[in-house]
Amino acid sequence: MADAHGKHHDYHIIDPSPWPALGSLGALVMAIGGVAWMQYLKGGALPLFGLNLSTPWIFFIGLAIVLYTMFAWWSDTIKEAHEGHHTQVVSLHLRYGMIMFIASEVMFFVAWFWAFFDASLYAGEALQEARVAFTGGVWPPKGLAVLDPMHLPLYNTVILLLSGTTVTWAHHALLHDDRKGLIAGLTLTVALGLLFTGVQAYEYVHAPFAFKDSIYGATFFMATGFHGFHVIIGTIFLLVNLFRVLAGHFTPKQHFGFEAAAWYWHFVDVVWLFLFSSVYIWASWGAPIAHAGAH
């Protein structure tokens, strides 16, 4: 009788979980909180059921719920892996899921590149008077000084390319059960990710243009800013993997968590190469150059 209820397939039927519902609730609270925060910043009100929700705290409450859900849900996934539930079939499907997630991220950046190229390639369209007013009919807009692509942007490009090398080194070390090499490679990758973020923050603070100055600033900060946000997420992803390695997790045959982080990091690298070549190099052609930090 006991064998009749045994598992005779390679799939994993998970136990009922509260995390999808709780994560959805957190996302809803974050969305409402985002609107409330914007109303708060402009001095407006957000009345709901007789209450004024115009405060930034609702957003952070939703963020806390989402972060807790992420931690708890992924902790359950790690536990399932240690219990042997991640068979070859389950691992394959996890990889499919990560591939689909990265594909959705690609389309997210396609939208920002589309906005950038639409504004830059058709800056002089006479039928769109508002656009001509914003750009002077040329790209970059008249009178706008842009960042030197061969200065901090090139420095950050080298940093990310090096980080792609170090994470590949870490992956190679893991496949050969070299724990010291794995820890060293991951540590260097995390350090390079933090360095990239620091350089970009410095660049933003000293940029010669602002988000609200022109459509150039808007498209620049949206595209590079979201990439920077993804670098922060990827750095955290790798840092969690470093903690897991130090805790004795991962084997040469079972290490999907690390593999997913490495894929994500390579995706971030590739997106930056497109940003660097188009937003920094091509878009600065013929414009006055201002070094970040120059006065």
Give the C-alpha separation, 95 to 93, whole Å. 5
Q: Say which residue the tokens 């490679």 belong to.
A: 185
Predicted confidence (pLDDT) per residue in 139-175, tens digit: 778 778 888 888 999 999 999 999 999 999 999 999 9
Buried b (16+ CB within 10 A) or exposed e, 162-199: ebbebbebbbebbeeebeeebeebbbbbbebbebbbeb
Q: Are 211 and 217 in contact (CB under 8 A)?
A: yes
Do 248 and 211 meet the contact criterion of CB atoms below 8 Å apart?
no
Convert the pLDDT of each residue in 109-136 to its tens digit. 999 999 899 888 876 654 444 454 455 5
Non-local (6+) Cβ contacts of 60 within 8 A are: 33
- What pTM value is reported for the model? 0.85
The pLDDT assigned to 125 comes to: 58
Cβ–Cβ under 8 Å, residues 142 and 223: no
At 295 the pLDDT is 45
CA–CA separation, 80 and 229 (whole Å) = 30
First to last CA, the chain: 81
Q: Which two tokens stand for residue 250?
A: 């991962």
Q: By percentage, how much of the chain surpasses pLDDT 70?
A: 90
Interatomic CA distance for residues 120 and 244, integer angstroms: 45
What integer pLDDT is reported at residue 291 of this predicted model?
61
Q: For position 1, what pLDDT does the model report?
A: 45
pLDDT in tens, 279-293: 999 888 777 777 655
Cβ pair 155, 147 in contact under 8 A: no
- Quote the CA–CA distance of 244 and 151 in Å, as a whole number: 36
Mean pLDDT value of segment 83-112? 90
Give the contacts of 189 (CB within 8 A, at least 6 positions apart).
163, 166, 167, 170, 238, 265
Q: Residue 132's pLDDT is what?
A: 46
206: tokens are 């000293």
- Count of CB atoms situated within 10 Å of the CB of 1: 4
Contact criterion met (CB below 8 Å) for 19 and 69: yes
Q: Which of 144, 135, 138 is nearest to 290 (CA)?
A: 144
Contact criterion met (CB below 8 Å) for 210 and 269: no
Nearest to 57 by CA among 26, 22, 21, 30: 30
pLDDT score of 186: 96
Which domains does the chain show, CATH number per domain? Answer: 8-85 (1.10.287.70), 87-295 (1.20.120.80)
The average pLDDT across 87-95 equals 86
Please report the pLDDT score of residue 267 as a whole number.
96
Check the CA dihedral 235-238-239-240 and report its sign.
Answer: positive
